[in-house]
Structure 1
Amino acid sequence: MPLTVLFSASDADWDDYKDILPNALAQVGLDAQVTRSAADPALVDYIVYAPTGGLTDFAPFTRARAVLSLWAGVEKIVGTPSLTQPLVRMSDPEGLTAGMVEWVTGHVLRHHLGIDAHRAAKPGEWVATVPPLAKDRRVCILGLGELGAACAAMLTQLNFQVSGWSRRPKELAGVACFSGADGLGTALRDADIVVLLLPQTPDTENLMNAARLNILPRGAVIVNPGRGPLIDDEALLAALDSGQISHATLDVFRVEPLPADHPFWTHPNVTVTPHIASATRAPSAARRIAKTIERDQAGAPLPGLVDRSAGY
C-alpha cells in the first residue's frame, strides 16, 4: 500500500513541489502518493507543512509519523496544542544552508571592506581608506546551529577572527565558542560585526536590547538574517542614532512585509532586505524530504527533529 503524503502549504508552493516531490520520493524507492487534501486524515502517513497552508488541527492525523516543515523556523507551529506527532524542521545543506552562507559572507565582506562608502562617494571624493585584513576583523555569530556553524566555518576560511555564542556549549574548529548568560557578554564585547542566527523563542526575544547593544565596541555592525524579534527595534534605532551601532543590515522583521512607514526603511544606516537571506529551494528541499521519509521508514532517527521544550 503506498504511503500518503499530505502537502499543506500555499498554492505557489504546490506549483513548485507537485512534480518534483513525487519524483524525489520515487528516486529513493518509496511508493508514495502526494496529495493536497485527504478524504480521511487518519490514513495520512506524513504531512509536509508550511504555515501558509492553513492547517491548524493535527489531531485527526492519527497515523501520521511526522510533520515535515518546509521552513527552518518552527515558531509558528511548535506550540500548537494538537500537534503530537514528531516535528522536523527543514534542514537542507544543498539549498537553505548554502544560501545562508552566501548571504552572510557577502554582507560581512561588504561591511568589512567598506563597500557602502565607496558606492556613496561623490565625484572627486578620493578617500583612500584601506580596510584591515580579515585576520584583524572580529566577527561574532549568535547561534551555532547548522546555519551558524556553516557561516562560521566559511568566515574562518576567509581568516576572520570568528567567535560564536549558543545556549548550549559547542566546539567548532577555529571558532572561539561561548555559551550561557555570562558567555554572551564576553562574546559581544570585542565584536566588530555581529551576525544573528538564533531561533525565535521566548528566551531569545529582544536578546539584543539596549544593554547588550551597548556592550559592543562603538561603531559595531549588526547583521540579522535570523528572526526579527531577536532585536529590540527601538533600542537598535537609538543605538544607530547615537553611533553606538554604525550600521544594521536586516533581512527579517517582527511584521513582514516590513510596513512602509517603519523607520528602518528611511534610516540612513539601515539596509533592508526582503527576507531573502536564505530560502527553501524546492529541488533540494524535495530531496531532503524524501531522504527523511526514507530514513524514518527504515527506522533511523529523524534528522532535524525539533526539541519541543527548547522550541527549535
Structure 2
Amino acid sequence: MTQSVDQAMAGFDPALPLAVALSGGADSVALLVASAEKWPGQVSAVHINHGLQAAATLFEDHCRTLCKRLNVPLHVQAVNASKQAGQSPEDAARQARYMAFSALAPDKYGGVAIKSIAIAQHADDQVETLLLALSRGAGLAGLSAMPAHWQRDGLDYYRPLLQVAGADIRAWLVQRGVAFVEDPTNSDEQFTRNRIRARLMPALRSAFPQFLDTFARSASHAAQGQQLLDEVAVQDVQTIARSTDGLPRIKALQGLSRPRQANALRYWLKQNYQCVPSTVQLAELLDQVADCTTRGHHIHIKVGSGFVQRSSDVLTWYNP
C-alpha cells in the first residue's frame, strides 16, 4: 500500500549521520525537510551539479537557500557527466553521481563522516522504472526495479519514499509552504521515461487506480526471484571456478544446464567486472561454450565493454 510522507519517514531508520541527495526538485526537497526535522544536527545535503542544462545554476542556488533556512550543511559537487562510447546519458550521470557520493564516505578521499545516503525516488518512479524494464525486454533483475536499500563503497543507500506517490509528496510540500524547482527537462518527451510519465502513467491511473501498489508488488516478486537466482549462481560459480583464480572452468560449466550456465556467467561477469552482457551476447557465448569440445576451439566474444575469451581450460574477460 502507498504511504504518506510522514508514514514513510516514521519507518525510516538509517545509520547516522545521514546525507540527502538534493536536486532542488519536489521529491528531494521533501526528503531533506522531513529528515532534518526528524534528526536535527545529524543531516546534511549533497547537491550534484551535472552541468548538463542551463537551469543548473538555478537548482544549485535554490539548494543553497533551502539548506541555509534549514540550518543543514550543503556539499556541492560538480561532476563530469559526459557519456562514453556505448553509454547512455542517464547512465553517465548516474555513475558520476556515485563517484561524488563515494567521496563522502569516511576514510575515502578525505571525505566527511557520512554513514548513509537517502535518495528521493518515489512510487511513481518505481512504476516508471518497471515499465522501462518491460519495454527493453529485461529479465528479473530489471523487473525488480529499484531496491529500497543497498550498499556501495562503504555507504548504505536508501530510498525511503518508494511507497509514497509523487502527488502526495507535492501536496505535503504545499501544505507546509515549502518551495521547490521544476526541472524543465521533465517535459522533454525525447526521453523514454518522460514519455512514460506523460502518456502511460495517466492512462494506467485511469484504468487501474491501484496500479502503484500492484505494480510495486510485481517488482517485489521479481526481486525475490532474482535473489534466488543469485543464491544459485553463487553456488554454481563456486563449483565451476578454478581454485587458483576463480575463473570458470569450461568443462565444469558444460555440466550445468543452459539456464544455469547463463545465470552463473551473468553473475560472474557482473560481480567481478561490473559487466552486464546483452541477451544476444550471452546466447552467443553459451553456444560457443557448448561447441568447445576440442583444445583448439577458440572463443573471443564481445561482452559488454570488453571481451570473453578462452584461455586454456577457463574463460577470462578483459577490457582492451
Quick check: TM above 0.5?
Answer: no
Q: Identify, as 1 or 2, the structure richer in helix.
A: 2
Higher-RCO chain (CA-CA 8 Å, sequence separation at least 6): 1
Give me the TM-score of the superposition, normalised by structure 2: 0.28
Give me the TM-score of the superposition, normalised by structure 1: 0.29
